[in-house]
Amino acid sequence: MTEIAYTERVCEDSEEISRFLETQRVGILGLPADDYPYAVPVNYVYLDGSVYFHGMGSGRKVGMLEAEPKVCFTVYEEYGTVTAPMACHADTAYMSVMVFGTAHRVDDSGEAARALQALVDKLLPGYYRAPIADGLVERYRSSKDGNAVAVFRVTPDRLTAKANRADPEELFTSQA
The amino acid present at 86, given as its one-letter code, is M
pTM over cut 0.75: yes
CATH classification for the domain delimited by 7-165, as one of 2.60.40.3080, 3.40.30.10, 3.50.50.60, 2.30.110.10: 2.30.110.10
pLDDT digit string, tens, across residues 91-100: 999 999 999 9
Average pLDDT of the chain, as a whole number: 90
Sign of CA dihedral 62, 26, 161, 52: negative
- pLDDT, greater one: 53 or 89: 53
- pLDDT, greater one: 58 or 70: 70
Task: State the pLDDT at residue 175.
Answer: 67
Average pLDDT over residues 65-69: 93
pLDDT bucket at 135, cuts 50 / 70 / 90? confident
**DSSP-assigned states of every residue in 74-91:** EEEEEEEEEP-SSGGG-E
The amino acid present at 79, given as its one-letter code, is Y
Q: What percentage of residues in the chain have a pLDDT greater than 70?
A: 94
